[in-house]
Copies of this chain bind each other. A is one copy, B any other.
């Protein structure tokens, strides 16, 4: 597909190259499945660019994303062994964050989510990754476990060239306002309409 041309060239004092290479906040939202799938597809492309990928899963039980996790861990090993692509870190709240001393005991989901966000904030400050996937991060925002204004301010003011991809339903309007790209996956037709349940390899 061709890249397309923007309809308007903004008067922001930036060159086309500066504007083109602006780091993005991407939100995949909407009621349908496919949000995380699309986000991981984007991260895959970043990996191939040699970008450093950090995935943070904000769900208690992360069993549904085990396919993506295995694939990205394999890609991370490819990088470590051959130098191809970028390094990959995959962290999940469900088992206690890997950097946390409280591993395996995060019964307090609100505290665990807040701890996850604090770590991401630290990493954004030190420009640790090139691409951050904050999977299902809209939920802790929705439930008040992390402060939406803090998230938005941190994203807007993050230094360097760090892309941040956030998935989940019901993205807060302040996040949508701050994002550069908001994608919504819609269904035209779904096998569940025909009485079919989810299946391994397709739905998880």
Q: Which A residues have a C-beta under 8 Å from some C-beta of B?
A: 1, 3-10, 12, 16, 19-22, 24, 29-30, 32-34, 36-42, 44-49, 51, 59, 64, 66-71, 74-75, 77-78, 84-85, 136, 163, 176, 179-204
A192, B44: Cβ atoms closer than 8 Å: no
Contact of A5 among B36, B182, B197 (CB under 8 A): B197
B20, A197: Cβ atoms closer than 8 Å: yes
A42 CB → nearest B CB, Å: 6
Q: A37-B38, A45-B67, A70-B84 are in contact. Are A179 and B183 (CB under 8 A)?
A: no
Contact of A202 among B32, B34, B42 (CB under 8 A): B42
Which residues of chain B are within 8 angstroms of A20 by Cβ–Cβ distance? 196-199
Q: A38-B41, A67-B44, A192-B7 are in contact. Are A200 and B49 (CB under 8 A)?
A: yes
